[in-house]
Chain A
Amino acid sequence: MPALTKLSVLVFFLSVLLSSCGISKKETALNEKNQEISLALTTEPPKLNSIKSADAISFIILDHLTEGLLRYGPNQQLEPAIAKKWKLTKTGATFWLRTDAKWQDGITVTAQDFVYAWQQVVNPKTASGYAFILYPIKNAESINKGKLPLESLGVKAIDDFTLEVTFEKPCPYFLELVAFMTYRPIRKDLHQEWGRAYAADAETFISNGPFTLTEWVHGAKIVMDKNPHYWDKDSISLNRINIPYITRDPSALFNLFLEEKIATWITPALGSGSIKKALKEHLSLKKFETGAVFYFEFNHRDDRLTHNKNLRKAIQHVIDPYLYTNKVLGIAGNTPAYRLLPKWLIGNKKPLHEEYPLTPVTIDHKIARDYLARAKQELNLTTIPPLYLLIDDGGSNGSLTGEYLQELLNDVLGLTILLDKQIFKLRLQKQYQGEFDLTFSGWAPDYNDPLTFADMFYSQNANNSAQYENVHYDMLIESTYKTTNPKLRAQLFAKMQRILQEDAVIIPLYYSGNIYVQHPRLKGVRRSRTGSSINFSYAYIIPENITLTESNNQPEAMPETKKVMP
Chain B
Amino acid sequence: MSYDRELPAIDKTEFLPYSGRKQDPIQRPSANYWQQAFRKLKANFPALISLFIIIGLLLFTLIGDKIWRVDPYAQDLTQISSPPSFNKKALVIPDKIHYQPVYLSNLEDYTVKTSSTGMSIIGTPTTQFIAFKWQPVAGAKGYQIFRHEYLPHGIDDLGVPLGTNDSGDHVSYLDALRLEPIDYFYSVIPIFEEGQLNQYSTIKITAANAIALGDAVGLGIIPKHQKMHYLGKVINLPAHPLGTDYLGRDMLARLIEGGKTSLFIGLVAPLIFVFLGLLYGGISGFLGGKADEIMMRFVDFIIALPFLLFMILFKVAFGIGPGESGIFPMLVALILLSWPSVARLIRGQVLQLKEMPYIESSKLMGAGVFHLTLKHMLPNVTGLLLVTFTFAIPSAIFTEAFLSFIGMGVVPPTPSWGSLCNDGIQTLLTHPHELIFPALFISITVLAFNLLGDGLRDAFDVKTKGERP
| Real binding pair | yes
User: Contact: A551 with B154, CB < 8 Å?
Assistant: yes
State whether A326 touches B323 (Cβ < 8 A): no
Q: Within residues 270 to 290 of chain A, which ones have a CB less than 8 A from any CB in chain B?
A: 272-277, 279-280, 282-287
Partner pick for A559 among B91, B119, B160, CB 8 A cutoff:
B119
The answer to whether A279 touches B148, judged by C-beta atoms less than 8 angstroms apart, is yes
Q: Within 8 Å of chain B (Cβ to Cβ): is A332?
A: yes
Q: Which residues of B contact A272 (CB under 8 A)?
A: 178, 427, 430
How far does the alpha carbon of A326 sit from the alpha carbon of B75 in the complex, in Å? Answer: 15
Instruction: Decide yes or no whether A399 CB sits under 8 A from chain B.
Output: yes
User: Is B176 within 8 A of A326, CB to CB?
Assistant: yes
Task: For residue B196, give the distance in angstroms from its CB to the closest CB of chain A.
Answer: 12
Q: Is the CB of B324 within 8 A of A418?
A: yes
Q: Is B73 located at the chain interface by the 8 A CB criterion?
A: yes
Residues in B neighbouring A406, C-beta threshold 8 A: 412-413
Point out the residues of chain B lying under 8 angstroms from A22, CB to CB.
none
Q: A282-B153, A403-B412, A407-B75 are in contact. Are A275 and B160 (CB under 8 A)?
A: yes
A194 located at the interface, meaning its Cβ lies under 8 Å from any Cβ of chain B in the complex: no
Task: Collect the chain A residues with CB atoms within 8 Å of residue B293's CB.
Answer: none
**Distance, CA A559 to CA B153, complexed state (A):** 17
B411 within 8 A of A: yes
Any A CB within 8 A of the CB of B120: yes
Query: Could you tell me the distance in whole angstroms from the C-beta of A271 to the nearest C-beta in chain B?
Result: 8
A287-B161, A553-B200, A562-B121 as given contacts; A407 in contact with B430, CB under 8 Å: no
Beta-carbon contact of B206 and A563 below 8 Å: yes
* Interface SS majority for chain A: mixed
Is there a chain B Cβ closer than 8 Å to A328's Cβ?
A: yes
Which residue of A332, A393, A419, A555 contacts B323 across the interface (Cβ within 8 Å)?
A419
| A276-B149, A562-B206 known; A551+B198 contact, CB < 8 A | yes
The answer to whether B322 touches A420, judged by C-beta atoms less than 8 angstroms apart, is yes
Asked whether A515 lies within 8 Å of B159 as measured between CB atoms, the reply is no
Neighbouring B residues of A558 by C-beta, 8 Å:
202-204
Quick check: A403 and B413 within 8 Å, CB to CB?
Answer: yes
* C-alpha spacing A559/B178, complex, angstroms: 23
Which residue of chain A has its CB nearest to the CB of B427? A273
User: A284 near B430 (CB under 8 angstroms)?
Assistant: no
Q: Which residues of chain B are near A322, meaning CB under 8 Å? A: 176
Which residue of the partner chain, among A402, A553, A563, A566, contacts B412 with CB atoms under 8 Å?
Answer: A402
- Find chain A residues with CB under 8 A from B157 CB: 282-284
Query: For B117, what are the chain A residues with a Cβ–Cβ distance below 8 Å?
Result: 556
CB distance from A103 to the nearest CB of B (A): 38
Cβ–Cβ contact A561 & B204, under 8 A:
yes
Q: With A276-B149, A553-B199, A565-B181 as given contacts, are A404 and B75 in contact (CB-CB < 8 Å)?
A: yes
- Which A-chain residue is minimally distant from B430 (CB atoms)? A273
Question: In the complex, A273 Cα to B289 Cα: how many Å?
Answer: 64
Q: How far is the CA of A562 from the CA of B181 in the complex (A)?
A: 13
Asked whether any CB of chain A lies closer than 8 Å to the CB of B201, the reply is yes
Bound CA–CA A164/B146 (angstroms): 49
How far is A358 from B125 in the complex, measured between Cα atoms in Å? 30
Is A407 touching B429 in the complex (CB atoms < 8 A)? no
Considering the complex, give the chain B residue whose CB is closest to the CB of A556: B201
Complex: how many Å from CA A294 to CA B241?
36
One of B126, B150, B178, B423 near A326 (C-beta < 8 A): B178
Q: Is the CB of B149 within 8 A of A559?
A: no
Q: With A327-B80, A564-B208, A566-B234 as given contacts, are A555 and B152 in contact (CB-CB < 8 Å)?
A: yes
Q: Which residues of B contact A552 (CB under 8 A)?
A: 198
Report A256-278 CB contacts with B as 1/0, cut-off 8 Å: 00000000000000001111110
Within 8 Å of chain A (Cβ to Cβ): is B407? yes
**Contact: B204 with A559, CB < 8 Å?**
yes
Which residues of chain B come closer than 8 Å to A564, judged between CB atoms?
A: 91, 124-126, 208
Say yes or no: is B205 at the interface (Cβ < 8 Å to chain A): yes
B247 at interface by CB-CB < 8 Å: yes
Distance between Cα atoms of A286 and B160 in the complex (Å): 7
A141–chain B nearest beta-carbon distance, Å: 34
- Smallest CB–CB gap between B70 and chain A, Å? 14
Q: How far is the CB of B171 from chain A (nearest CB, A)?
A: 15
A94 vs B173: C-alpha distance in the bound complex, in angstroms?
Answer: 48
A276 to B89, Cβ gap below 8 A? no
Q: A555-B152, A556-B201 are in contact. Are A561 and B234 (CB under 8 A)?
A: no
In the complex, which of the residues B119, B322, B428 has the most CB atoms of chain A within 10 Å of its own CB atom?
Answer: B322
Is B367 in the interface zone, CB < 8 Å from A?
no
Tell me, in angstroms, the Cα distance from A520 to B155 when the chains sit together: 12
CB distance from A317 to the nearest CB of B (A): 16
The answer to whether B154 touches A251 (Cβ under 8 A) is: no
Q: Are A553 and B198 in contact (CB under 8 A)?
A: yes
**A11 in the interface (beta carbon within 8 A):** no
Q: Does B436 contact A (CB under 8 A)?
A: no
Partner of B177, one of A326, A404, A418: A326
Are the CB atoms of A277 and B429 closer together than 8 Å? yes
B162–A332 touching, CB < 8 Å: yes
One digit per residue, 1 when the CB lies within 8 angstroms of any chain A CB and 0 when it does not, for chain B 208-219 equals 110000000000
Encode contact with A along B70-94: 1 for CB under 8 Å, 0 otherwise: 0001110100100000000101000
A333 and B164 alpha carbons, distance in the complex (Å): 11
Option from A328, A335, A389 in Cβ contact (under 8 Å) with B247? A328
Asked if B165 is at the interface (CB within 8 A of a chain A CB), the reply is: no
CA separation between A406 and B322, bound complex, in Å? 14
Smallest CB-CB separation from A420: which chain B residue?
B322
In the complex, what distance in Å separates the CA atom of A558 from the CA atom of B117? 11
B150 touches A279 (CB 8 A): yes
B163 at the interface (CB under 8 A from A): yes
Q: Could you give 13 example pairs across A and B, Cβ below 8 Å?
A: A272-B430, A277-B429, A280-B149, A327-B176, A393-B407, A403-B413, A407-B75, A419-B323, A520-B156, A551-B155, A551-B198, A555-B152, A564-B91
Known: A330-B177, A332-B147. 20 other contacts (CB 8 A): A273-B429, A276-B149, A279-B149, A282-B157, A332-B160, A406-B413, A407-B73, A418-B321, A418-B323, A418-B324, A552-B198, A553-B199, A555-B151, A559-B119, A559-B203, A563-B206, A564-B91, A564-B126, A564-B208, A566-B234
Q: 4 closest A-B pairs (Cβ-Cβ)?
A: A418-B323, A273-B429, A420-B322, A330-B178
Residues of B bordering A, CB below 8 Å = 73-75, 77, 80, 89, 91, 115, 117, 119-121, 124-126, 147-157, 159-163, 176-178, 181, 183, 187, 198-206, 208-209, 234, 246-247, 321-324, 407, 411-413, 423, 427-430
